[in-house]
Structure 1
């Protein structure tokens, strides 16, 4: 008779699985709560103590860490020396292991979880059994996921589990235990940048393709990620998201998170093409749309208030890939769902907490703090003879929040309620300025200009003056700051420096 060791924290499906194994002439070995529920449902089990001839001890911390268990899992059936040694010590083979682990992730997800509670939910025996069984997968079938119960039973009913299936299940176990250990390491680690960075992600969905149709892609989510995330969005309508949709939506959400007042953010290719601020979400969207009526077509729009009927009607007038908001009124949904291809996403925007940013390079990973600098006029320095008016300062603050999310070199032209021109990702700053000012056109007159980094020359200030810009915000720090300040004074432009730059590569 073959033997199966079953010890699970998540009991879903385990009774039916154990009963099926008994029908296939397996002896069931079990522990604690699993043994209790199996016996209550009529499954005859052998207690772990009967196998080890040693009692469970230390409040359950030690029960399966024993040679009779790990010897039965690890000895190679194809090596005569292993077989003889097992016989000499009375070790019987264990042919199947079904184990899932203490709910560590669920435990640390609780608000204000106590360290002692988290520690007690670190499983030791479970991962040890899984790893022993997985190491000897040529002889042992190992399951860590209830989704594998039925396929394994089907193969057993046909005679045995195939070597290919055992190998796949073993690899799945090592992924699972590695992820489990990564969560524990992350919870206990206090260093921001430790000597080993252990990360784990769960597959959310396979994607049709990546940035381009010839590239394969998938979307993974952090197990304990903040809810203000496209990874935790609820999709209310439309086909599945693409790789580029996800990246653009993430960019739009990050900009929207900068504002507490009603804001609408339109994004194309990871850059804002229009941002509007208003007293209502309808007014905010109108401003975002008017900021660049051409580029918003086919874009992604994020709004930080519920979408109402009036806003939905306006949104429906053009083709948009995605609309993401905290919620949609029933009437708004009725309007927008008439458009077959639009995706509607609901995201909780109430608790945005930026995490470490991770960027892959060939053979490595760059990790940094998120750029969470909050604009505060109290820290700004007025470097020109003319100080900004109150209205200009409001406009500078709005555009400073936006320029940090534009690919550098970045120049944004706008006022207190909307962007008017965006120059993104140019190889020199005057090139970005010319794009932003050209897009703003006559609207640049009496507008403000924000730059993500300092002016290396005074040519950007001159271009701004010629376009009618009245105030500029920039980090400062160039060896030619004096030239830029002199140019601003010459043309009556107010300039403030922040001493903080916002490069975004």
Structure 2
């Protein structure tokens, strides 16, 4: 008896070559709709599924392969005589291979102006059913869900090498494929029904690349992205120059983009180990980068720089004088690109930077589980500030305070930032106590601390940080407020003539 292959694909890449290969191996081909036409037009013999089932396609194609003559042929175990007897009694022919890929749900969802009706109609039912049936019975039924596997499958069949392990690998790919597909559908409905935290939470990603190693050389890693592209995401960046990104590069670059999104005017952000080491805002990109560089010319060495305007020649000349891992910008002028590409190891990433959707959730794995929270997209304006001290901050101080507040939001807790005139001067990150973070920021700022402002990501439980700020010459402080001992810090500010404002919003970053 001839072997039988069922082919029904949405993505028809290389399908005629694969069908021809199966025909040459003496497979009988059965197929549906558009796939059948493509195969027959290529001169390859093929039979319509409704000839096999004796039942026409109905409900606009919603029902065509959901039939015992199809699923019986897929699910019967060849080493089970009772199954074989039932096939014979019901005149069902076994199916030995399934070649199926699914309706383009993701592509439909991504189309502008698509209707809910179109999205619903692109939820495949018969395809996943056939794939899952074949994958369950992988010992007897080979499955091709990915056009990239066609040639390897043909080669294995020609050499009688499609063994149990390879069949199991193909089955595993099927279940990953259908799980990915179902996760996208579930997410679509969850968004439609505004269920942010449903009873189960299934996420899915698509592989971008295998990384050389993870956070350290002895760790393995890979980079994945969401199925639908997110604007302002590193996963959509175009790399213009340099070797591939590492795990740490991706982490740092993502942190730089998050910080950069806080600023509308020309801004440059330098990042090391996911903390900003320099942020500068100015009237043009060249001055913005100079400001960011001057904020900490030591820590920027080997760091990542992200800019929210085109890199021009003057900025490129500054950048080329420093050892940097990555430069990210919405564009690079031709003369700037010529300068920077002379540096062999620098990575240049071009990324469209427009105001877009923020990530709805942040997912962090823990041993045996996961934590999910909404992203920290909280904003604070001058109108939100509550003055806690006798002295009111000046207009200039308010501008500096808000600049520092945007920066400290992206510094690992406990976090303190000193800033002045659209420039960070000192960054104290990731300390076990707030005074420790303050001392680091003050030491880094040095003489520049005098006349600066201080931002704290959380409240002051003790007045020691205020005392340190006063000693260094800080004139104003911004913090969330909310400690039972707020008044101790306010009294210390009043004693030293420092203005203090509350935001009412904390920005812990762990």
- For Structure 1 versus Structure 2, the TM-score category normalised by the shorter chain is over 0.9
1:20 equivalent in structure 2: 21
1:388 equivalent in structure 2: 393
SS of structure 2 residue aligned to 1:358: strand
Structure 2, unmatched stretches of 5+, are none
The structural deviation recorded for 1:159 is 2.9
Alignment of 1:115-194 (within 5 A): 115-159=116-160, 161-189=162-190, 190-194=194-198
Residue-by-residue CA offset, 1:239-267 (whole Å, 9 max, x unaligned): 11111000000000000011110110000
2:290 equivalent in structure 1: 286
The structural deviation recorded for 1:155 is 1.1
Distance in 1, Cα, partners of 2:488 & 2:161: 81
Distance in 2, Cα, partners of 1:324 & 1:227: 14
The structural deviation recorded for 1:160 is 5.2
Residue 461 (structure 1) aligned to one of 455, 460, 466: 466
The structural deviation recorded for 1:233 is 1.1
The structural deviation recorded for 1:55 is 0.7
Distance in 1, Cα, partners of 2:45 & 2:442: 79
The structural deviation recorded for 1:39 is 1.2
1:33 equivalent in structure 2: 34
Residue-by-residue CA offset, 1:442-495 (whole Å, 9 max, x unaligned): 101111000000000011111111110111100000111111111111111111
2:111 equivalent in structure 1: 110
2:452 equivalent in structure 1: 447
Is 1:392–1:416's contact at 8 Å kept on the other side of the alignment?
Answer: no
Distance in 2, Cα, partners of 1:360 & 1:352: 26
Residue 372 (structure 1) aligned to one of 374, 377, 388: 377
Structure 1, unmatched stretches of 5+, are none
Residue 499 (structure 2) aligned to one of 480, 494, 502: 494
Residue 402 (structure 1) aligned to one of 407, 410, 414: 407
1:343 equivalent in structure 2: 347
1:198 equivalent in structure 2: 202
The structural deviation recorded for 1:227 is 2.6
Distance in 2, Cα, partners of 1:241 & 1:167: 32
Distance in 2, Cα, partners of 1:445 & 1:225: 45
Is 1:227–1:347's contact at 8 Å kept on the other side of the alignment?
Answer: no
2:248 equivalent in structure 1: 244
The structural deviation recorded for 1:502 is 0.1
2:61 equivalent in structure 1: 60
The structural deviation recorded for 1:112 is 3.6
Distance in 2, Cα, partners of 1:25 & 1:320: 59
Distance in 2, Cα, partners of 1:34 & 1:348: 38
Is residue 230 of structure 2 the alignment partner of residue 229 of structure 1? no
The structural deviation recorded for 1:225 is 3.6
Distance in 1, Cα, partners of 2:29 & 2:182: 28
1:262 equivalent in structure 2: 266
Task: Provide TM-score, normalisation by structure 2.
Answer: 0.98
Residue 271 (structure 1) aligned to one of 257, 272, 275: 275
Distance in 2, Cα, partners of 1:114 & 1:441: 59
Residue 311 (structure 2) aligned to one of 307, 329, 340: 307
Residue 214 (structure 1) aligned to one of 199, 209, 218: 218
Residue-by-residue CA offset, 1:103-139 (whole Å, 9 max, x unaligned): 0000111224211110000000000000000000001
Distance in 2, Cα, partners of 1:284 & 1:467: 26
SS of structure 2 residue aligned to 1:321: strand
Distance in 2, Cα, partners of 1:110 & 1:487: 58
SS of structure 2 residue aligned to 1:236: strand
Residue-by-residue CA offset, 1:361-406 (whole Å, 9 max, x unaligned): 1111111111111111111101111111111111011110010000
CA RMSD of aligned residues (A): 0.8
Residue 352 (structure 1) aligned to one of 332, 348, 356: 356
Task: Provide TM-score, normalisation by structure 1.
Answer: 0.99
The structural deviation recorded for 1:158 is 1.3
Distance in 2, Cα, partners of 1:33 & 1:180: 22
Query: More displaced, 404-413 or 230-239?
Result: 230-239
SS of structure 1 residue aligned to 2:355: coil
SS of structure 1 residue aligned to 2:324: coil
Distance in 2, Cα, partners of 1:253 & 1:206: 22
Query: More displaced, 290-299 or 17-26?
Result: 17-26
Distance in 2, Cα, partners of 1:243 & 1:209: 7
Distance in 2, Cα, partners of 1:112 & 1:504: 37
